[in-house]
Structure 1
């Protein structure tokens, strides 16, 4: 049995197998691997509010900037540095928030708490990314039809909408079946874009001179008034960098590093340089250099392959949104939503119905409102640059506090990385009126919802503690009560939010019915700041001071990547610990339900109270969430003002 104390999950190094690398190629790199479709055409889009003239010098500078931006942000910042900051193998901005929260708890640093809120805003930006990525990715792929037949332009939006609806409708089935095909498709994709890039480079090998950072530096220094605005589109080349970090828990750091350095980075680099070579030969190809790089006979297959790749990229970011929501629920930033596990083998494969349909409506709205990938590019760039900047800032603080990086290294090396990120962020801020406002509005809304829920939940918790009263004195009162309380045959299991207060349902049963079951188990579920736990770390039992009254308290631990299963945890209890044998197959489960209504409490302003109460309506059925048997679960309700 586990004592009631903080738990450290085991951090094992998984063996590196080819299947893991292939899986990572199919899931992790979909977003960044499809960036070559739209990055260069967005940079040289003549309809841009700050257009970049398509000259030889500018082209060399842009291609060089793309290459070195990918090297600095993706390879250096994420692959080499940020991915080392893991929470027991799990990555992503929510993992960084957890690490910072843990640091704040141990050191009490106000800075850690403030950066935790900044990280929460970064997670909120990811929701905007989850809406924009499917829209811009699928649109950009379907737009390839225009290179085959210009008259098909009117069909781009309807075809995109059909693909997106189909994509979200199959989410409930999970990715267990189709996921095995993602890797081979993406391998074919990277080989194809690499081959097209080689063909373009062969036609004009001089483009390889852009590998030198001098072209990027000269472009920024000599044409800053052009290069600065170009950064708003160049950042599209690093979209999906956060996915490398976020999906680290599924595939491990080594598989992602091998996949990135061994295939994805070379293929994307070849594609960018091939497109650059094509533009040097024919500047009229700026409308779709990615597709026009392929020979005429290969364009239709490339469009179909691009569509498949962008669907995979969209699938990855949708799955990422489900994962972020699940973690936010466990960490107390969102209400308990209905979450369905779509695979008995893969823990991380989940489906969140409410989020799925909200995302679908949002993505379709973006498709019909913006109509082209170019129009969505600035919104996408803001979401990406904002998330990357916040991640870098959080990482640098973590490296200083936990790894004790020397101040000179932090200011020089870390300052340089942060300066690069801030340049991209500043460039995208110039596009606010052209669409960059969209992810900020989404992020502000989600941040407000999450912080309001966290604050309201804290207030309700404090109020509930007062109503419930302390547990041990209540148990002591039962032991000395005269006349003794009537005990009826059977087992009652009371779920309670806290491990030191009396369940409302239990108190009501005693005070109103004057009876109690022969065996009583009070269960509290605690989510720990680790991804997953072993069975040995799952439960802790407390006799509450009396070993012969048939009443025990069981604390069930769960990792923030897990869904609590109360019956499964209770089946692990031996009879000698529960003060007698219990029949879980016939036990009754009691839940305490609070109906929240706005009140006169001055701890929250009126609009936040209404938002908190409205958000609480999304709370999933507790019986289903904790996997309780519906036919043996009794709900005892009461009303509380907030």
Structure 2
């Protein structure tokens, strides 16, 4: 007899099996959550990690062309210094920190103590290497004690320059801001990042706009992207050029925070924020300041504020003050990270 039981349903080869697409909405939802988390962490890292290096345009180029050890802002010198600034950002921050050092995390933690611990595990003379790491941590603590006070005082004194009525309140206001900074830091990096992140993002957008405006006036500054201008700068200026290199190095101050704070945010948000927001904003602003000096060499006294139109000067002073205040907490965050690592390693009491 022929078996008349119904056969199993036939499914076309290209048609989806029942339930096969059920996982797709969950997968898309998970990917969406991951992207949202990445954006939140990136914005928070912008306020925590990049505040210090983000305020370097306030003074770095001015120190090269104005002061006792400054050089004359001739077109050749301007192109040379801007070239040195560009390649310092690329080689020291992008290559050294973002590509190489961020890979040397110690179980997700960064900073000089974590790096020294890794080195002591691999080296035969590990104790000496680790002691050098502890010494480097002590230097960072010293920087953390000095930098916030100097940065905040400089910011408040900037308000005094804009409005002399602030003179009696400079020191009390600076103390109040410092106390507030440490109090916010104790609330955790997430809350600090939520507050400082959007303001720092606005700061970098303003840096970019100011730079683009000046580059349009003197597009010849784009030639500074050629590293030969930096080499020619040293050949033409000799020892003076080497002294100016110390001022150029100011553009990378705060770079150590990128490594010290990877335990808070991870490497991906820090890399994403640097390459999409911070590096473009810094490069555009430094090139804009250089373009201004090509047109107006007398602007070397304060090229950053001279980039702004008259109507934007006071809002820019306020925003720069806020950025300088946030820059001081970047080193505070690094000091907190170091303290936590020292506690875990038994080098600091709880």
**TM-score, length basis structure 2:** 0.82
Deviates more, 1:237-246 or 1:89-98: 89-98
- Asked whether the 8 Å contact 1:93–1:122 carries over to 2, the reply is yes
Q: 1:413-444, CA deviations, whole angstroms, 9 ceiling, x for partnerless residues?
A: xxxxxxxxxxxxxxxxxxxxxxxxxxxxxxxx
State the match for 2:109 in structure 1.
90
Equivalent position SS for 1:54: coil
| 1:277 aligned onto 2:291 | yes
d(CA) in 2 for partners of 1:118, 1:53? 40
**1:287 corresponding residue in structure 2:** 301
Matched position secondary structure for 2:110: coil
1:40 corresponds to: 61
* 2:160–2:170 CA contact under 8 A, matched in 1: no
Tell me: CA distance 1:163–1:44, structure 2 relative to 1, closer, same or farther (3 Å). farther
The alignment partner of 1:52 has SS state of coil
Partner of 1:56: 75
Paired position in structure 2 for 1:187: 201
Residue number in structure 1 paired with 2:144: 130
SS class of match (1:315) = helix
Q: CA deviation at 1:266?
A: 0.5
Give the gaps of 5 or more residues in structure 1. 1-13, 338-642
What whole-Å deviation, never above 9, does each CA across 1:9-52 have from its counterpart, x for those lacking one? xxxxx955211211121211111111111111122232x3x332
Q: Output the CA distance in 2 between the equivalents of 1:260 and 1:32.
A: 11
Counterpart pick for 1:66 among 74, 82, 85: 85
Counterpart of 2:41? 20
Query: Which structure has more RCO (C-alpha within 8 Å, separation ≥ 6)?
Result: 2
Q: Pairwise mapping of residues 220-235 of structure 1 onto structure 2 (< 5 A)? A: 220-235=234-249
Q: How many angstroms apart in 2 are the aligned matches of 1:102 and 1:20? A: 31
- RMSD (Å), alpha carbons: 2.4
In the other structure, the counterpart of 2:177 is: 163
Aligned-pair CA distance for 1:165 = 4.0
Q: Shift of residue 283 of structure 1? A: 2.5
Indicate the residue corresponding to 1:260 in structure 2. 274
Q: Which residue of structure 2 lines up, in the alignment, with residue 530 of structure 1? A: none
Distance 1:288 1:140, change over 3 A: farther
- Alignment partner of 1:80 out of 87, 99, 102: 99
Give the 3 Å change call, closer, same or farther, for CA 253–316 of structure 1 in structure 2. Answer: same
Partner Cα separation in structure 2 for residue 141 and residue 289 of structure 1? 17
Q: What's 1:30 paired with?
A: 51
Equivalent residues, number: 315
314 and 97 in structure 1: CA distance in 2 versus 1, 3 angstrom threshold: same
Local SS of the residue matching 2:340: helix
Cα distance in 1 between the residues matched to 2:134 and 2:61: 32
| d(CA) in 2 for partners of 1:254, 1:197 | 27
Residues 110 and 263, structure 2, Cα contact 8 Å, conserved in 1: yes
CA offsets per residue over residues 375-416 of structure 1, 9 Å max, x none? Answer: xxxxxxxxxxxxxxxxxxxxxxxxxxxxxxxxxxxxxxxxxx
Task: Give the distance between the partners of 1:230 and 1:210, measured in 2 at CA.
Answer: 17
Distance 2:156 2:60 in 1: 15
| Change beyond 3 A, Cα 1:177–1:23 | closer
Q: Please report how far the alpha carbon of residue 300 of structure 1 lies from its aligned counterpart in structure 2 after TM superposition.
A: 1.6
Whether the aligned pair in 2 keeps the contact of 1:43 and 1:52 (CA below 8 Å) is yes
Larger radius of gyration: 1
Superimposed CA distance per residue, residues 77-127 of structure 1 (whole angstroms, 9 cap, x where no aligned partner): 1111111111122111111012123225xxxx12x3322222222111111
Instruction: Report the Cα distance in structure 1 between the residues aligned to 2:140 and 2:50, rounded to whole angstroms.
Output: 16
Q: Does structure 1 residue 198 correspond to structure 2 residue 217?
A: no
SS at match of 2:136: helix
Change (3 A) 1:201 1:144: farther
Between the aligned partners of 2:253 and 2:242, the Cα distance in structure 1 is 18
- Change in Cα spacing, 1:169 to 1:262, as seen in structure 2 (3 Å) is closer
1:100–1:113 Cα contact (<8 Å) kept: no
Q: Which residue of 1 aligns with 2:10?
A: none
1:286, CA displacement in angstroms?
2.0
What is the CA distance between 1:315 and its match in structure 2?
A: 1.7
**CA deviations over 1:477-531 (Å, ceiling 9, x no partner):** xxxxxxxxxxxxxxxxxxxxxxxxxxxxxxxxxxxxxxxxxxxxxxxxxxxxxxx
Detail structure 1 runs of 4+ shifted over 6 Å in the superposition: none
Shift in CA distance, 136/55, structure 1 to aligned 2, threshold 3 Å: farther
Give 1 or 2: higher strand fraction.
Answer: 1
Other structure's SS at 1:284 match: helix
Taking structure 1 as the reference length, what is the TM-score of the superposition? 0.46
Matching of residues 326-341 of structure 1 within 5 Å: 326-334=340-348, 336-337=349-350
Offset at residue 170 of structure 1 (A): 4.7
